[in-house]
Amino acid sequence: MQVENQELKQDILPLRAVSHVEIYSGNAKQSAYYYRQAFGFSFVGYLGPETGVRDRVSYVLQQDKVRFILTTPLEEDGIIPFLSKHGDGVRDIALETSDAEYCFKTTVERGAVPVREPEILEDEHGKVKIASVATYGDTIHTFVENIDYTGPFLPGFSAMPEDTLARPVGLKHIDHIVGNVDWNQMDKWVDFYLDVFGFSRFVTFDDNDISTEYSALHSTVVSNHSKWIKFPINEPAKGLKKSQIEEYITFNNGAGVQHVAIETDDIISTISKMREQGVEFLDIPESYYDDLLDRVGPIDEDLEPLKKLNILVDRDDKGYMLQIFTKPVEDRPTLFIEIIQRKGAESFGKGNFKALFVSIEREQERRGNL
């Protein structure tokens, strides 16, 4: 704990963690059902006409420390242009802080574009101070300072009775949130987090350009000093295939959040449940598992369930990790969700780009198509 506090002192902003992720959705009512039944979130708070708000509805969904807010517009306002441009997607990566006003003032002084001036929100459960600044694309960061609030989420939201529809799968907390930016824009946005937010480059041992030809992307990770907030930033790169980042940029009409990675401490059980509940994941060629143990060394898990569930494994100098990616969670090939279990590793799975590439070629060879 002492070490963590020392690290926190180096931060220029008093940020603790991701407070919540707000997703703008064309139909929050139906999306909420999907996240409750398929991903296991509980519906804990609501804001809309019934609570005196005329222009939007918001559903607060929570599983352990992960909070997704789904918001749909009811009237012409700033949400509709976002939805017509990007489709459903992440609007706000909100950050928990002990001083929202200071975060706003400091980041704006350092060059952030202000979105919402500091404001105290209040209801019978107490007060919260919030303020927002812009980041890449139409994404924003809201600084959330809980002054003395004891309600379900933020002032104005009503609490919901216990959610009998939710089917929890063991998701614990947000591990990292990835932003995709356009060609040659990565350095600009990395510098934004270094200069404006006072973050550091999060260097991992797999940081090298060998993966670029396989992944067709450049990626740099920035984090606050406690490492509780980690933001990889991707840009497209010329590789052996068309960049998936380029496809994202085309369908999202610009930069935005590519994926939210959520940690579990039992990925086999989590993914078994999610699959039963209808979540679709990327298909992995069987041959990926042929040389898995040669690549990553000994692991605690049996190979069979990993293979059956299509879970990927990667190792760095600190340990290993297991990960899996959902298919996009909307019709555009934009936002998706990663589920990750860390067993020491601090990196983000770059080794899998090459491993998947090689295994796809091996399958093509088996079919005589190479």
Closest approach, Cβ 335 to Fe ion, in A, equals 13
Nearer to Fe ion, 44 or 306 (CB): 306
- Detail the DSSP E strand segments found in 181-215: 200-201
Contact 28, 72 (CB under 8 A): yes
Closest approach, Cβ 260 to Fe ion, in A, equals 9
Closest approach, Cβ 147 to Fe ion, in A, equals 33
Closest approach, Cβ 319 to Fe ion, in A, equals 17
Nearer to Fe ion, 235 or 338 (CB): 338
Nearer to Fe ion, 35 or 348 (CB): 348
Nearer to Fe ion, 43 or 325 (CB): 325
Closest approach, Cβ 259 to Fe ion, in A, equals 6
Closest approach, Cβ 175 to Fe ion, in A, equals 8
Closest approach, Cβ 220 to Fe ion, in A, equals 13
- Detail the DSSP E strand segments found in 153-289: 158-159, 171-180, 200-201, 217-223, 230-236, 256-264
**Host H or E run for residue 34:** helix 28-37
Nearer to Fe ion, 70 or 177 (CB): 177
What is the torsion angle, in degrees rounded to the nearest 10, for the CA atoms of residue 342, residue 344, residue 350 and residue 351?
A: -110
Contact 210, 156 (CB under 8 A): no
Residue 159 CB partners (closer than 8 Å, separation 6+)? 44, 45, 151, 152
CA terminus-to-terminus distance, the chain: 54
DSSP state string for 115-180: EEEEEEEEETTEEEEEEEEE-STT-EEEEEEESS--SSSSTTPEE----SS-----EEEEEEEEEE
Instruction: Write the DSSP symbol of residue 286.
Output: G
Nearer to Fe ion, 24 or 348 (CB): 348
Instruction: Summarize as ranges the residues that interact with Fe ion (CB under 5 A).
Output: 261, 338, 348
Q: What's the CA gap between 241 and 94, in Å, rounded?
A: 34
- DSSP, collapsed to helix, strand or coil, labels residue 76 as coil
Nearer to Fe ion, 22 or 338 (CB): 338
The residue of the chain with the least Cβ separation from Fe ion equals: 261
- DSSP, collapsed to helix, strand or coil, labels residue 30 as helix
Nearest to 354 by CA among 216, 193, 176: 216
Closest approach, Cβ 181 to Fe ion, in A, equals 16
Tokens read off for 63: 């599983």
Nearer to Fe ion, 204 or 226 (CB): 204
